[in-house]
C-alpha cells in the first residue's frame, strides 16, 4: 500500500483509535472521552467505507450479509463479555440490548432510509418477496425469544429453563441457516436490486478487497471496545439524568449499529432502497438469530440467570413496530409517510425508556 493511500482517513482513524485505546487514555476525564468519541465516529465511517469495498467485490446479497454478520459477531462479543463481568447484575442486559437493536433497526434505520429516499425520489421500489422473507423469519424468532418466555410455566417469571434455551437456540439457528440458503442460493434474485448485477461501479481487485475486509474487522472491533470503554461514562451520564439503566443498552446498541445505519442511509440516498432493506432487515435477523443462541450458551455454561421475556409495555411497542414495518413494506414501494411513522415509533420507544 502506498503511503498516500494509507493516510486516507479510512485507514488512519482505526489505527489511531487502536493506539489510543491500548495506551489507556480513555476514562481519564471528559476531554479524553470526547477524543475517544471522535475516534469512535471516525472508525464507524471507516467501517462503512471498507464494507462497501467488500460488498462491491463480492456483489449482492453477499456484501450486506458480511456487514450484518460482522456487526452481530461484535455485538455478541460485547454482550457476552458484559454478562460474564456483570454476573447476576447483567441478567437483563442481553434482552435489553437485543430488543434495543431490533427497535433501532426496524424503526430507526428503516425509517430514516425510507424518509431520506422519499424526500429525494418521492417513491422507491424494492422486491416485496425479499421483505416478506425477512419479516417471516424475524417475527418468528422475536416471538419465541422475547415474548413466549412470559407464558411458559416450567420456570416462574420471564425465563426459560436450560432445556427450553437449548430448543430455542436450535430453532433460531435453523431459521437463520435456512434463510441464508434462500438468500444466497435458491432465491438469490429476491435480494438483488433490479439491474444490480449490471450496475457500473469501481470493482476493487483481490488485494484491495482483502485489505478492506481486514480493516473492516479492525474497525468493528475497536468500535465495540471503545463503546465498552465509554460505557462507564455513559452509565454516569444516564444516572445523572435520573433515567433507567436500560437506557445504557439503547445507547450502546445505537453505537454498535452506526456502521450499518450509515451504509443503509447512503444506499437510500443513491436510490438503492433494496440494498438499504437488505442491510437493515438482515442485521435485525442476524442480531436475534445469532445473539440469542450465543448468550443462551453463556447463560448455561456460567449458570447466569437470563431474563428474555419483555414486559407488557415493550411487547406492545414491539408489536406496533413489526405491524407498521409489515404494512410499510407490503406494497413494494415507499413514501415519506412510512418513514415518518416509523421514526415516531422509535421516539416513543426511547421516550418510554427514559420516562417509563
**Mean pLDDT value across residues 62-76:** 76
pLDDT of residue 25: 82
Could you tell me if 64 and 278 are in contact, meaning their C-beta atoms sit under 8 angstroms apart? yes
Return the higher-pLDDT residue of 81 and 109: 109
Query: Using CA atoms in the order 182, 188, 194, 196, what is the torsion angle rounded to 10 degrees?
Result: 130
**Tens of pLDDT along 277-308?**
988 998 899 888 988 998 899 889 888 888 99
The answer to whether residue 45 scores a pLDDT higher than 90 is: no
**Cα separation, 75 vs 290, whole angstroms:** 10
Whole-angstrom distance, CA of residue 315 vs CA of residue 352: 13
**Which residue has 438499504 as its cell numbers?**
276
Residue 75's nearest CA partner among 213, 310, 257 is 257
133's grid cell = 422473507
Query: Is the confidence at residue 7, as pLDDT, over 70?
Result: no
State the pLDDT confidence band at 195, using cuts at 50, 70 and 90.
low
Q: How large is the average pLDDT for residues 77-104?
A: 78
pLDDT at site 197: 45
pLDDT for res 200: 46
How high is the pLDDT of residue 85? 67
Q: What is the mean pLDDT of residues 253-266?
A: 84
What pLDDT, on the 0 to 100 scale, is given for residue 293?
92
Q: Report the candidate in 68, 94, 92, 69 with the shortest Cα–Cα distance to residue 79.
A: 94
Whether omega for the bond prior to residue 302 falls within 30 degrees of 0, making it cis, is no
Residue 351 CB neighbour total at 10 angstroms = 10
Residue 199 pLDDT greater than 80, yes or no: no
Q: Is the peptide bond before 61 cis (omega within 30 degrees of 0)?
A: yes
Contacts of 193 (CB under 8 A, 6+ apart): 60, 126, 199, 272, 274, 275
Tell me if 266 sits within 8 A of 114, measured CB to CB. Answer: no
Residues 109, 260: contact at Cβ < 8 Å? yes
pLDDT for 91 beyond 90 = no
Mean pLDDT of 8-37: 86
Name the residue among 355, 356, 333 with its Cα closest to residue 121: 333
> 205 by DSSP, 3-state: which?
coil
Q: What pLDDT band is residue 52 in, cutting at 50, 70 and 90?
A: confident
* Pairwise pLDDT comparison (8 vs 214), residue with the higher score: 214
Per-residue pLDDT of 140-184, as tens digits, reads 999 999 999 999 988 888 989 999 999 999 999 999 999 999 988
Handedness of CA 336, 332, 112, 119 (dihedral sign): negative
Q: How many other C-beta atoms lie within 10 A of the C-beta of residue 220?
A: 26
What the block records as the C-alpha cell of 236 is: 454516569
pLDDT at 118: 94
- Answer whether 296's CB lies under 8 Å from 83's CB: no
What pLDDT does residue 86 have? 64
Please compute the mean of the pLDDT values over residues 48-71 and round it to a whole number.
76
Q: Angle 206-241/258-269 helices, nearest 10 degrees?
A: 120
User: pLDDT exceeding 90 applies to what percent of the chain?
Assistant: 39
Residue scoring higher pLDDT (245 or 260):
260
Please report the pLDDT score of residue 148 as a whole number.
Answer: 95
User: Reduced to 3 states, what is the DSSP secondary structure of residue 216?
Assistant: helix
Query: What's the number of CA atoms in the CB half-sphere (13 Å) around residue 335?
Result: 3
Q: Report how many helices (DSSP H) and strands (DSSP E) the chain contains, helices first.
A: 14, 0
3-state secondary structure of 255: helix
Q: Between 96 and 175, where is the model more confident?
A: 175
Per-residue pLDDT at 81: 72
- Report helix, strand or coil for 125: strand
H-type alpha helices, 190-308 = 206-241, 246-256, 258-269, 273-302
Of the candidate CATH numbers 1.10.1060.10, 3.40.190.10, 1.20.1420.30, 1.20.1630.10, the domain formed by 3-354 belongs to: 1.20.1420.30
- Residue range 78-101: mean pLDDT, rounded: 76
DSSP H or E stretch at residue 155: none
Amino acid at each position: 500500500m502506498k503511503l498516500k493511500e494509507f493516510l486516507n482517513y479510512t485507514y488512519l482513524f482505526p489505527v489511531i483509535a487502536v493506539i489510543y485505546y491500548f495506551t489507556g487514555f480513555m476514562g481519564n476525564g471528559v476531554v479524553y472521552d470526547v477524543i475517544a468519541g471522535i475516534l469512535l465516529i471516525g472508525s464507524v465511517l471507516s467501517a462503512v467505507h471498507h464494507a462497501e469495498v467488500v460488498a462491491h467485490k463480492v456483489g449482492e446479497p453477499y456484501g450486506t450479509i458480511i456487514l450484518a454478520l460482522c456487526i452481530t459477531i461484535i455485538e455478541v462479543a460485547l454482550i457476552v463479555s458484559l454478562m460474564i463481568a456483570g454476573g447476576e447484575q447483567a441478567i437483563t442486559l442481553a434482552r435489553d440490548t437485543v430488543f434495543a437493536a431490533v427497535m433501532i433497526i426496524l424503526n430507526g434505520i428503516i425509517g430514516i432510509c425510507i424518509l431520506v429516499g422519499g424526500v429525494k425520489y418521492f417513491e422507491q421500489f424494492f422486491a416485496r418477496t425479499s421483505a416478506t422473507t425477512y419479516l417471516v423469519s424475524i417475527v418468528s424468532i422475536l416471538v419465541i425469544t422475547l415474548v413466549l418466555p412470559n407464558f411458559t410455566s416450567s420456570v416462574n417469571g420471564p425465563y426459560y429453563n436450560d432445556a427450553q434455551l437449548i430448543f430455542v437456540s436450535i430453532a433460531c439457528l435453523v431459521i437463520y441457516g435456512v434463510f441464508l440458503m434462500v438468500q444466497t442460493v435458491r432465491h438469490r434474485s429476491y435480494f438483488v436490486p433490479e439491474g444490480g448485477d449490471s450496475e457500473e461501479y469501481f470493482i476493487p481487485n483481490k488485494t484491495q478487497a482483502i485489505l478492506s475486509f481486514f480493516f473492516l474487522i479492525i474497525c468493528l472491533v475497536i468500535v465495540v471496545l471503545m463503546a465498552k470503554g465509554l460505557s462507564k461514562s455513559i452509565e454516569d451520564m444516564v444516572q445523572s439524568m435520573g433515567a433507567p439503566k436500560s437506557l445504557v443498552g439503547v445507547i450502546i446498541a445505537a453505537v454498535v449499529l452506526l456502521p450499518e445505519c450509515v451504509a443503509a442511509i447512503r444506499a437510500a440516498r443513491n436510490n438503492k432502497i433494496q440494498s438499504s432493506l437488505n442491510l437493515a432487515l438482515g442485521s435485525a435477523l442476524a442480531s436475534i438469530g445469532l445473539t440469542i443462541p450465543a448468550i443462551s450458551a453463556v447463560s448455561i455454561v456460567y449458570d447466569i440467570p437470563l431474563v428474555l421475556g419483555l414486559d407488557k409495555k415493550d411487547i406492545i411497542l414491539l408489536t406496533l413496530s413489526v405491524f407498521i414495518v409489515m404494512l410499510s413494506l407490503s406494497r413494494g414501494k415507499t413514501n415519506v409517510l412510512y418513514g415518518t411513522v416509523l421514526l415516531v415509533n422509535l421516539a416513543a420507544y426511547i421516550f418510554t425508556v427514559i420516562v417509563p
